[in-house]
Amino acid sequence: MTVAVVGVTGMVGKVMLKVLQERNFPVTQLIPVASEASVGKTVLFNDEEHTIVPIDVAVYNKPDIAIFSAGSGVSLEWAPKFKEMGTTVIDNSSAWRMHDDIPLIVPEINAGILSEEDKIIANPNCSTIQMVMALAPLHEAYVLKRLIISTFQSVTGTGKHAVAQLRNERSRIEGDMVYPYTIDLNCLPHCDVFLENAYTKEEMKLVNETRKILSDPTIGVSATCVRVPVIGGHSEAVNIEFRNEFDLAEVRQILQDTPGVIVMDNIANNVYPMPLYQQGKDEVFVGRLRRDESQPKTLNMWIVSDNLRKGAATNAVQIAEYLLKENLVAVSV
């Protein structure tokens, strides 16, 4: 299996290599790809040094799978070129997510829609992935009507320069500013760019991607996304109104039985998910389960996950694993 990782020197790209190695994905040849500034340098994978190549060289080598984490512009330009060479592309950017003919996949939820013809597959947004992991089984049981979401998102979601800004501010070192304001000791209600409707692009991703993944355009979704001075994990407070009545004990059992979801909800002992402790893990952690006392058929939930792992790299590798398991990707000989 020949695998190209496009954007290999970025925060997600580095985690991609780590996850591929941890999960023993059968990579017989790795093609690491990055910008011209990194071409010729090396990355370590499976105890071997691999030389970074430009993206046109990677296309020429016709990898079986190309995992992209290099931004929408790169994906829009190059994913079709890989596709033409027979490569299956798993793209972590927002470039293809809302295209009607491109599947948007969280493997535990909707991998079954994939076919051999799907040569470009979109990886959802990190904040969407962790939320729908918890919501999908509840939607099946009670039918989602409306979601009110508040996110508390790590600076790692912006990238390594945002992490550098936070660390510089903590050390009182002047440096480049990725955000329009100080992030340390602060909360910025501003993730991605503002749109004409006064919501940010990140907030509208939660709206549109949730509906597409769950195949239900009737779900009402309203989101506020906030950047917080945290490294390594997104948190979400989600208010969930169902169309049907639910039993809280049954909700807890459904979530406990959901692969990839771990319930941490013991308030008597102060047990609940926190990004500091969930960093570096692949699961989605759920806690603070309680009824909304202001209206019927409504549940409150707290969801935490490592945005670089299940929110990006791990989900992409799981897609690749599914393609291989179901013989949906042509392996070169």
For residues 289 and 166, state if they share a domain.
yes
333 domain residue, yes or no: no
Mean pLDDT of 257-284: 97
For residues 66 and 182, state if they share a domain.
no
Decide if pLDDT at 52 tops 70.
Answer: yes
For residues 204 and 231, state if they share a domain.
yes
139 domain residue, yes or no: yes
For residues 155 and 33, state if they share a domain.
no
For residues 115 and 253, state if they share a domain.
no
CB-facing half-sphere around the CA of 102: CA atoms within 13 A: 24
For residues 159 and 184, state if they share a domain.
yes
- Cross-sheet strand order for the sheet of 88-91: 29-33, 2-6, 65-68, 88-91, 120-122
Decide if pLDDT at 213 tops 90.
Answer: yes
Contact 278, 230 (CB under 8 A): no
* Sole residue written with tokens 């503002």: 194
161 domain residue, yes or no: yes
Decide if pLDDT at 333 tops 80.
Answer: no
How many other CB atoms sit within 10 Å of the CB of residue 107? 20
For residues 90 and 13, state if they share a domain.
yes
Q: What is the mean pLDDT of the chain?
A: 97
For residues 116 and 53, state if they share a domain.
yes
Q: For residues 311 and 129, what is the distance between their CA atoms, to the nearest angstrom?
A: 6
**Sign of the torsion formed by the C-alpha atoms of 99, 105, 109 and 110:** positive
Q: pLDDT tens-digit profile of 280-316?
A: 999 999 999 999 999 999 999 999 999 999 999 999 9
Distance set, CA 83 to CA 2, 140, 232 (Å): 15, 34, 33
Decide if pLDDT at 114 tops 80.
Answer: yes
Which range marks the domain in which residue 296 is found? 127-307
| Catalytic site includes residue 126 | yes
330 domain residue, yes or no: no
Decide if pLDDT at 200 tops 90.
Answer: yes
Distance set, CA 313 to CA 34, 93, 107, 184, 319 (Å): 16, 12, 13, 26, 10
Contact 106, 129 (CB under 8 A): yes
Q: pLDDT tens-digit profile of 126-142?
A: 999 999 999 999 999 99
Domain count, the chain: 2
331 domain residue, yes or no: no
For residues 210 and 301, state if they share a domain.
yes
Decide if pLDDT at 39 tops 60.
Answer: yes
CATH number for the domain spanning 84: value is: 3.40.50.720
CATH number for the domain spanning 299: value is: 3.30.360.10
332 domain residue, yes or no: no
Q: pLDDT tens-digit profile of 147-165?
A: 999 999 999 999 999 999 9
- pLDDT for the residue 331: 72
Structure tokens belonging to residue 146: 């409306």
Instruction: Single out the catalytic residue among 126, 139, 191, 225.
Output: 126
For residues 139 and 264, state if they share a domain.
yes
Contact 199, 191 (CB under 8 A): no
- pLDDT for the residue 232: 86
Q: pLDDT tens-digit profile of 18-37?
A: 999 999 999 999 999 999 99
188 domain residue, yes or no: yes
Q: For residues 231 and 156, what is the distance between their CA atoms, to the nearest angstrom?
A: 6
For residues 217 and 299, state if they share a domain.
yes
For residues 298 and 175, state if they share a domain.
yes
Q: For residues 259 and 137, what is the distance between their CA atoms, to the nearest angstrom?
A: 10
| Catalytic site includes residue 50 | no
Contact 58, 6 (CB under 8 A): yes
